[in-house]
Amino acid sequence: MLKLTIPMIFISLLLSAAIFGFFYAWVCSTMWGLDTAEPRVAIAAMQAMNASVRNAVFFPAFFLTPLALAITCGLLYGPQRAPALAFGAAALVYLLGGLILTMAVNVPMNEALALVTIPDDPEAAGEIWRTYSERWQVWNI
């Protein structure tokens, strides 16, 4: 079991760090940067980023992190109860607060934005972007 436990701890921590870094970068630089851009540019940029994010590099961190954490929890549960519970809690927090929340709120917002034809009117584009960005950032916790 130890031969599997140590690599799973490493994989769990690596995936957790990767997805935390992804969310952190989006919330404290990408979205704030887009908020300072001209709204038509912000909409087009967000549409392009959302179209490109579904890729083989993003997939493991986003989708496999809770699985890796749960497996690590299971491997540690007998001999190391406290660390097992920490990995289990991390799996639950990310599953509910990261993966499911993103799939339930942010992804539908992204899909709706993908269908938007960027208006020529800067004020109309500004309204679209403000409405999208404010709500998106609230839920990207």
The tens digit of pLDDT for each residue in 13-39 reads: 999 999 999 999 988 899 999 999 999
- Residue 76: what pLDDT? 94
Residues of the chain short of pLDDT 50, as ranges, are none
Q: Measuring CA to CA, which residue among 47, 51, 63 is closest to residue 116? A: 47
- Residue 27: what pLDDT? 86
- Residue 78: what pLDDT? 84
DSSP-derived 3-state class of residue 140: coil
Q: How far is 17 from 9, CA to CA, in rounded Å?
A: 12
* 108 CA to centre of own chain: 13
66 burial via Cβ count (<10 Å: 0-12, 13-18, 19+): buried
- Residue 95: what pLDDT? 97
- Residue 2: what pLDDT? 77
